[in-house]
Amino acid sequence: MPARKRTSRFAKKQQFRDKPVSEDGKRARKSTANRVLTVFKAILNKAYEHELAKDNQAWRKVKAFRKVDEPIIRFLTESESTRLINASQPDMRTLVKAALLTGDRCSEIAGIQAKDFNPENGSVFINPGKSGRDRHVPLNREGMAFFSELAAGFVWGQVSVVGFLQISACECACPDGRQ
């Protein structure tokens, strides 16, 4: 059954959206149904825990749609990467370029300190991010040149070294110096 449209209470007949024709439209509908099902099952499980339902077998048998929430894996082309860097504000270009070279989130990159760049083994150390694990990200030649240039002039090995990418990001976010 197609999705219902918002209908005036004075309308004589319920209106519906057109059925999704594309595969992506169908996938999106199934994904929405899965999210609703998850919330509904959580409510029913709470009711069961509080002994407001006699049995939980009825909703435990209901299965979610499979393979509808898988992420779409896509990589930027070189020209798209260049356009992204050029479209960024000048103060944010360093952060964007570092994200493109490492594949990490901007929040993880903003925490990089000069001591985290290891030119000997060609990697940059990323402190625990969203995954909760720290890791070493290998760099290609372009990444090595980029991070070598950024780290030039910073004191190595000190704990008090401020993240060199975070400085420009903060200055861009608060140009008048407020934090």
**53, 44 Cβ separation under 8 angstroms:** yes
Q: How far is CA 12 from CA 2, 6, 15, 25, 145, in A?
A: 18, 13, 9, 28, 68
pLDDT recorded at residue 158: 42
pLDDT recorded at residue 161: 36
Q: Does residue 145 surpass a pLDDT of 90?
A: yes
Q: Quickly state the pLDDT bin for 137 (edges 50, 70, 90).
A: very high
Q: Does residue 170 surpass a pLDDT of 70?
A: no
Q: Which CATH class is domain 78-173?
A: mainly alpha
pLDDT recorded at residue 140: 95
Query: Average pLDDT, whole number, for the chain?
Result: 82
pLDDT recorded at residue 157: 45
Q: What is the pTM of this model?
A: 0.55
34-43, 50-59, 151-160: least confidently modelled range: 151-160
The pair of three-digit structure tokens given for residue 114, joined into one six-digit string: 């000069």
In this prediction, residues 82-106 reach a mean pLDDT of: 89
CA dihedral (28, 34, 39, 44) in degrees, to 10, reads 150
* Burial group, residue 117, by CB count within 10 angstroms (0-12, 13-18, 19+): buried
Q: Does residue 19 surpass a pLDDT of 90?
A: no
Look up tokens 């000048």; give the residue: 90
- Tell me the domain boundaries of the chain: 14-72, 78-173
